[in-house]
Structure 1
Amino acid sequence: MLHRALLRQVTAHCCSSHSKQCIRSFRVSSCCLDDVRVRFAPSPTGYLHLGGLRTALYNFLFAKANNGKFILRIEDTDQSRLVPQASERLEEMLVWAKIPPDESPEVGGPVGPYMQSQRLPLYQEYVKKLLENGTAYKCYCSSRRLNWLRNDAIRRNEVPRYDNRCRHLSQNQIKEQELKGTESCIRFKLGAVKEPIEDLIYGSLANTVAEQEGDPVIMKADGFPTYHFANVVDDHLMGITHVLRGVEWQVSTPKHLQLYRAFGWNPPVIGHLPLILNRDGSKLSKRQGDVHIEHYRAQGYAAEAILNFVTDIGGGFEGRDSRHLLSVEELIEKFDVSRITKNSCRLDMEKLYHYNQLSLHKCLEDPSELKVLLAQLRDLLRKTYSERLWSSTAQERVLSTDYLTQVLEWSKVRITCLQDLLHPDFSYVWVVPDQLPVSGLPAMPCSHVTVLRRVEDLIASSTDSFTKENIARLVKNVGKEYKLKTPAIMKLMRMSVSGLTEGPPVGEMLAVLGKEAALERIRHAVWLIQSNN
């Protein structure tokens, strides 16, 4: 956990020369120790993925570890890339993941709106300030000219950049363009200075951004701000004290610091989180369906398992013991921003499977969490087997709390998520197999039907509890009676009750199914064998 002394140290530069301005109004980036405010500001261009969740989680943990506020702001200024309902789904996923925002489009708050498309008048107001103080200017360059600049740079093997032509227009030239009604955007004048950065994660850095790019557009011709401009204005007006974002934005930080200086504002403390890579070292992409949080939820992964997985690969904790699953409260208590790793993180999905298995064990021990788990499992089963759970009796048995709990207890060492229980190898747990690999039945001196009917009779007449030990004794007795080896009978039984040639021990399979379901499957197997003859 970040102690107050450390927090004071990393925020000191925000409250030094302009401390009176900080105190005067909370809307001017107050950096008081009791007012820690962080934000997660995604674009609603698709599903929340692991990288986005990691950023949101670390902001949430930092805020809560310091009694601060966690804000969700939707950056939807790029109207061409918007996905319908994406912003609602983003917030829903944060709530599901147990890291709900304190302020957001849904929750509201004192510094809203929290969607940038609803803040356009604010951006117009503040871009005028930069035009008035001479740190911004109108650019009348056509898209044709900009494309020519780009193609010419590529032809010369140079990085494409704007040549700042309109920065140097005379008043007469500007007046001429205005009279002609030439469409314009607004650009910010980058200073040719080496910009020092105190990165909360990476330490001291420096960058001369004007050597790498031309003056950036801050207000597009359609009246929408670019990310860089809206980001700075909103962070200031929302009182954001600390910015934790992906390292891909590190190169833009000098530009943002110059914008703060142009306004006369104090910047927040900024830290950058390392990249998350696939196991093979390739970059994580939103286009990968298997990194979306909604995908994991649909597969039956628990929110706490995903949070533990993300923090395990990204650091932020001392002496992390992967044998234990940490609750959200424990993650907050143990979080230490100084221990976030600087190196790129590689996904090891085995860790996610491990943490979700720990979560399953935890849920089985907690009545309230077990209730939620059972509801999720029932929903999955209804969607998967609704047509095959044809009788009300079958549904009542299979979906009962006792049966589902028994199956979960038995399978907890065999599965990593609820979706695993829908794999064909586990279908016999829920429905009677509709096929029997007759050609694979073990060779026997007597008919398979004779053996199965004898097993059926012994099970039906037995008054002993239906345990794997008693089942083993019963099978052994049948073997003696028909001079059969136990493995052959076990193989016949496995294929009869599950339709599988391999799987868990037969005694366990039958015991989990229960006496009546086991008898039902044996009778059905007899019918299948006879139908095949």
Structure 2
Amino acid sequence: MGLAAAPASLARVRFAPSPTGFLHLGGLRTALYNYVFAKKHGGRFILRLEDTDQSRVVPGAATGIEDMLEWAGIPPDESPRQGGPAGPYQQSQRLNLYREATEQLLKKGAAYHCFCTPQRLELLKKAALRSQQTPRYDNRCRHLSPKQVAEKVSQGADSVVRFRLEEGSEPFCDLVYGWSRHEVASVEGDPVILKSDGFPTYHLANVVDDHLMGISHVLRGAEWLVSTSKHLLLYRAFGWDPPRFGHLPLLLNADGSKLSKRQGHVFVEQFAQEGYLPAALLDAITHCGSGFGENRMGRTLGELVSEFDVGRIEKHSALLDLEKLSELNRIHLAKQIGDERRRPNLVAEVQANVERVYGEQLMDRGVLETAYVEQVLLLRRGHISRLQDLALPKYAFLWIRPMVACEELRAISPQADEIGRLVLGLLDRPAAALTIEELNRDLRRLPEQVTGTQYSGMMQLLRVALSGQQQGPSVAEMMVVLGREEVQTRIQRALCS
């Protein structure tokens, strides 16, 4: 492949995580900003796995990251799985490119071999800490002559390659933070760019890869802002044009603390397992931030793309309020239930959940029929936050018949039998007349026909008879969902005479 840059499209951006564990919310947010930027500008979104630190790589993490991007609805256009013109997309498979780039810098005198032992570097660090100074390499090996280097190499001495930091860092205009400049040569020692095992460090690998992959814009976390001047020095040493940089403010907990991988709710895979929709999770991590139009709940991915403007990203950290996630999920779930194209997938998921939870307890297999489950979804639309909610105990009456004793109903109302017979009479009408509106009107009139009965008491009685519970959906709604025959069966079983 050589070190020629890939042809650039209008916009080429990358998400470049290390496969050291599950994808977390901060990473998802970075990926999303890159995705919407690419789609807004008709460009390409690239997934690159930065696995040069082999000691930290977790088996299966690379696959998991791409799985979660696909689950979230923001799949990469180029990736280890998808392939593409600028591959390989895994840094451990690009070592020859980093060696070639390092040789270029060595020939130019922009890099040098360093033979300092780990013991010497540790002593330098301890001395700096005792003096209350920031540890830094003293650049000792940059002064070795070519002859000295050759002698050490011939003796088999281990070495790394360091980049020669030069004074004169140029200011750059960050897309988020504006003009910035860090004179790294005055505060840092020369950084290692190629380790003794042949693997590059982040500084070299990300510069080489961004150039070879034709990356036009780098949108990454704000923690890399201070390193950008160092990376620009590397671009200058290679003679390459750098991309535009934009650094994204941190995503923090609602109390301002840092998101931690040790927390329970931080990994995307966990939210997926708990039944949260991708749209709701994307809505949550952008609802707390900036870069989009007026903040509102319920934005779709398409709306995020159309509204995105990198110039709107604010410098302050974004506070993530996961307390809103359930409400966001309810909003997005209601939209999907109302979408005839998406509803079949939702029906299938409810069927699987009910089968798993209730199994042999099901009153009959008819409750798993598509028409019935679809009706349940439509009537509970806007009332449930997750599909799994429909398999909770409070909705058990939808799938299994409650065991209600007549004594329990008489304790609620001595007129239980009379009320039951009147309700059975309502069911004699044609099925088309059994609507929620019609039933609500007729049920309100029933107390007039039973001496000493109040409407609230009658509703409590019927709710227990139909669902076995004191609280839940309206009686009329339960009657419509369950259907004429099932309502008749439940009321007749609960009557004492």
In 1, distance between residues paired with 2:139 and 2:406? 79
Out of 307, 330, 350, the residue aligned to residue 377 of structure 1 is 350
2:5 maps to 1:28: yes
In 2, distance between residues paired with 1:306 and 1:509? 31
> Across the two proteins, how many residue pairs are aligned to each other?
494
**Could you tell me whether the CA contact under 8 Å between 2:48 and 2:80 is conserved in 1?**
yes
Q: Indicate the larger mover: 346-355 or 466-475.
A: 466-475
SS of residue matched to 2:198 = coil
Aligned-pair CA distance for 1:180:
4.6
2:361 maps to 1:422: no
**Could you tell me whether the CA contact under 8 Å between 2:161 and 2:193 is conserved in 1?**
yes
Deviation track 1:382-427 (CA, whole Å, cap 9, x = no partner) reads: 33333433x6xx2332x22222222222222222232333333333
Unaligned stretches of 5+ residues in structure 1: 1-24, 528-533
2:366 maps to 1:396: yes
In 2, distance between residues paired with 1:451 and 1:78? 77
In 2, distance between residues paired with 1:136 and 1:525? 87
Aligned-pair CA distance for 1:155:
4.1
In 1, distance between residues paired with 2:195 and 2:318? 35
Out of 240, 249, 274, the residue aligned to residue 215 of structure 2 is 240
Out of 476, 483, 487, the residue aligned to residue 514 of structure 1 is 483
2:192 maps to 1:223: no
Q: Indicate the larger mover: 514-523 or 133-142.
A: 514-523
Aligned-pair CA distance for 1:274:
1.1
Out of 6, 10, 25, the residue aligned to residue 50 of structure 1 is 25
Q: Partner residue of 1:501?
A: 470
Q: CA 1:444/1:294 → structure 2, altered by over 3 Å: closer, same or farther?
A: closer
In 2, distance between residues paired with 1:56 and 1:478? 60
Q: Partner residue of 1:348?
A: 321
SS of residue matched to 1:104 = coil
**Could you tell me whether the CA contact under 8 Å between 1:185 and 1:219 is conserved in 2?**
yes
In 2, distance between residues paired with 1:294 and 1:524? 45
SS of residue matched to 1:271 = strand
**Could you tell me whether the CA contact under 8 Å between 2:283 and 2:298 is conserved in 1?**
no
Out of 306, 322, 330, the residue aligned to residue 296 of structure 2 is 322
Write the letter of the residue equivalent to 1:363.
Answer: Q
Q: Partner residue of 1:258?
A: 233
Q: CA 1:382/1:145 → structure 2, altered by over 3 Å: closer, same or farther?
A: farther
Unaligned stretches of 5+ residues in structure 2: none
In 1, distance between residues paired with 2:169 and 2:402? 71
**Could you tell me whether the CA contact under 8 Å between 1:77 and 1:116 is conserved in 2?**
yes
Aligned-pair CA distance for 1:239:
1.0
In 1, distance between residues paired with 2:426 and 2:361? 25
Q: Partner residue of 1:198?
A: 173
SS of residue matched to 1:47 = coil
Once the two structures are superposed, the pairs formed by residues 52-451 of structure 1 within 5 Å of their partners are 52-169=27-144, 174=149, 177-318=152-293, 320=294, 322=296, 325-328=299-302, 330-349=303-322, 351-389=324-362, 394-397=364-367, 399-433=368-402, 443-444=411-412, 446=414
Q: CA 1:153/1:520 → structure 2, altered by over 3 Å: closer, same or farther?
A: farther
In 1, distance between residues paired with 2:396 and 2:203? 53
Deviation track 1:352-395 (CA, whole Å, cap 9, x = no partner) reads: 44443332232233211112222233233333333433x6xx23
Deviation track 1:494-519 (CA, whole Å, cap 9, x = no partner) reads: 33443433333333334333334445
In 2, distance between residues paired with 1:154 and 1:451? 87
In 1, distance between residues paired with 2:237 and 2:54? 27
Write the letter of the residue equivalent to 1:325.
Answer: R
SS of residue matched to 1:407 = helix
Q: CA 1:507/1:77 → structure 2, altered by over 3 Å: closer, same or farther?
A: same
**Could you tell me whether the CA contact under 8 Å between 2:284 and 2:325 is conserved in 1?**
yes
In 1, distance between residues paired with 2:190 and 2:395? 61
Identity of aligned pairs, percent?
Answer: 48
Write the letter of the residue equivalent to 1:273.
Answer: L
Task: Give the structure-1-normalised TM-score.
Answer: 0.81
Write the letter of the residue equivalent to 2:241.
Answer: N
In 2, distance between residues paired with 1:107 and 1:486? 63
Task: Give the structure-2-normalised TM-score.
Answer: 0.87
